[in-house]
Amino acid sequence: QAVRSIIDGLKDGDEVVVVPMAGLDRRQDAAFTRTFAVAKETLDKIRPTDDRADVVRALHVTDGLLREAVHA
């Protein structure tokens, strides 16, 4: 619910990306979107897993996204 409230607080023109902390497939593309419904759909697809959270990998993915962002 906390993530949903953050998304709900965004304004037109804001960009958001959902990066899972566990179960992030190397082939899975995380990307910024201005369509908040897409971010919520991505959030809804995240399921509990027995995998360990890979914080370092999630931060690397996020770092790469921010480096490539046009409006960062």
Say if CB 54 and CB 22 are below 8 A apart.
Answer: yes
Assess whether pLDDT exceeds 90 at residue 70: no
pLDDT tens figures, 3-14: 999 999 999 999
Give residue 26's pLDDT.
57
- pTM attached to this predicted model: 0.75
| pLDDT, position 48 | 85
Query: Quick one: pLDDT at residue 51?
Result: 86
Domain boundaries in the chain? 2-68
